[in-house]
Structure 1
């Protein structure tokens, strides 16, 4: 089924009229669609908007995930954090059969997919856009979750103390796939032990994106600016410095752990990790004294998450080529975390 065919346009038209946000649904085309979510460009009374809904075959958590995004985008409204503007969300599954929402169409480019002529020809622009990402992340982490109505995303207990045990249990759960080799990731126990031994004290809770890297932003076409941070499905309330660590471990600078940033990364001219950390701190971000620890935690967590596709592929439940690619990324992420744990590399080197 085409992504466009996953939406009953007559039902959608009735809903937008009932909500008072439009009258006529015009041309519809797919922006993205597949196993994660369906994203459609829709002409609403002649203006382009974006509809986001779960995939054709939703997972058990799909509606809850989209509802979380509605909550997050609503909470970000009126802040200086670049994000797609929420038009309206619908948690009544009787309308389209799933939770969905409409948001503003962002004028920008995803650096993991394309670059503009201005980006291609101007290294200073690319450098400035990288720094703008760090500053946008600092603004996100500075938000008060309770003030923005986002404290509902917070779970009780110490966020940092839960991380290593949680992700070790997650990794252990892959044993249900009989052909998965649990020894395929390097330095898991080493990194886990180092993270527990060097864990920083808990800080006041803040808003986290949860998956912040070059492929999850839209950059302005010809200005050193982030047009929007996108894909908020992993947003939570915890320690925002983990987002900074996530940016560090995925950043396309040697040593590299995975392939992120697409054509923009291949052009080069991006800031160093040390420059990103300085920009983050200078924009009011939290004190990054323990940035190596957060980078190691990000590599540990993301590596274990990506390994899940390899485990499923080993049981014939995911394409083997995708499983292998993500396993290679997981190995790179854990290897980089291992270097930090051994004292052989630092973000600020």
Structure 2
């Protein structure tokens, strides 16, 4: 673990914050494909340390600092989340920004299921509905009162989405072996999104990557134990999170492989039931939901295609690039169907 965390430097930093700094077992945790996630025993207490990858990207420290801001802001709200224990926003301790958070007692549905979940379809159904209700609670957080103001960019959040992600896609041309024509409906979807863009709503907290793999579920209770992975959290339009949940929901058409063993057990609510749970849980009125779902498919598809572009240049595993390219194609296919009027989220 020496290449991931300097335990001596960490212990000294902890002592400077009033802790004993006694470090026990350290081991990697599953999940966190973009960042390092470690289970670490400190002063006899199991915690989680999260830091950038061994070879950080230029934005890696900013991403972890963003997560620290989010966890601080969620403290005291009714949004289920891991409690922040301590955060270091300067890279002079471990060479990177990092933080410690509580270890959540729960299961990630994309990776495992509990015996209770496997035995009880009603439990799985109820837990999935709480995924929608938890999202409603996140979107209801006041971004100014809870300290999220630094995450808000000036100007129209919705107005900059399509141009931003078209620029992102164009940037993949730096990888000469990447085939820019490999994604369907990009142009028509972009035009439809711009022509049908809703008016900007009051800003709210946006998770940015909300799907079943980014929550922890209680083992035997009908609730979400915590939302996790706030790498893309910002201040914007929370209904985009609902669209993200809809386009990634493990239900046809073109269902993505999200939710892992939990989803494969079946018995989950339909998209219509999820939208109703979101609204009943205090979320914003789910208007223009087809538009938000198409935008989510457009944006997420372009994000995932980045790995395929890097794989074409040997900078990412070819197998991973192929899998994520397949996801991108499915996401943009759904967005294209919405734009053509061939499919609607709630039928």
TM-score bracket relative to the smaller structure? over 0.9
In structure 1, what is the equivalent of residue 320 of structure 2?
322
In structure 1, what is the equivalent of residue 207 of structure 2?
209
In structure 2, what is the equivalent of residue 194 of structure 1?
192
In structure 2, what is the equivalent of residue 286 of structure 1?
284
CA contact (8 A) 1:32 1:38 kept: no
In structure 1, what is the equivalent of residue 113 of structure 2?
115
CA distance 1:178–1:158, change in 2 (3 Å): same
CA distance in 1, matches of 2:89, 2:167: 32
CA contact (8 A) 2:3 2:54 kept: no
User: In the TM superposition, what whole-angstrom CA distance separates every residue of 1:173-212 from its partner, at most 9, and x where no partner exists?
Assistant: 1111112111111111111111111111100000000000
Q: Does 1:129 align with 2:127?
A: yes
CA distance in 1, matches of 2:77, 2:294: 30
Give the gaps of 5 or more residues in structure 1: none
CA distance in 2, matches of 1:331, 1:8: 41
In structure 2, what is the equivalent of residue 334 of structure 1?
332
CA distance in 2, matches of 1:190, 1:33: 35
Q: Does 1:246 align with 2:244?
A: yes
- Counterpart of 2:92 (choices 91, 94, 115) is 94
CA contact (8 A) 2:19 2:43 kept: no
User: In the TM superposition, what whole-angstrom CA distance separates every residue of 1:256-277 from its partner, at most 9, and x where no partner exists?
Assistant: 3421110011001011000000
CA distance in 2, matches of 1:22, 1:231: 28
TM-score, normalising length: structure 1: 0.97
CA distance 1:107–1:50, change in 2 (3 Å): same
Please report how far the alpha carbon of residue 32 of structure 1 lies from its aligned counterpart in structure 2 after TM superposition.
4.2
CA distance 1:322–1:334, change in 2 (3 Å): same
CA distance in 1, matches of 2:105, 2:31: 19
CA contact (8 A) 1:248 1:347 kept: yes
CA distance in 2, matches of 1:55, 1:174: 22
CA distance in 1, matches of 2:271, 2:31: 33
CA distance in 2, matches of 1:347, 1:312: 32
CA contact (8 A) 1:51 1:100 kept: yes
Please report how far the alpha carbon of residue 21 of structure 1 lies from its aligned counterpart in structure 2 after TM superposition.
3.4
**Which deviates more from structure 2 when the two are superposed, residues 238-247 or residues 313-322?**
313-322
CA distance in 1, matches of 2:344, 2:110: 26
CA distance in 1, matches of 2:158, 2:31: 34
User: In the TM superposition, what whole-angstrom CA distance separates every residue of 1:21-43 from its partner, at most 9, and x where no partner exists?
Assistant: 34311121111488621111111
In structure 2, what is the equivalent of residue 17 of structure 1?
15
Give the gaps of 5 or more residues in structure 2: none
**Which deviates more from structure 2 when the two are superposed, residues 255-264 or residues 202-211?**
255-264
SS state at 1:73 partner:
helix
In structure 2, what is the equivalent of residue 140 of structure 1?
138
In structure 1, what is the equivalent of residue 262 of structure 2?
264
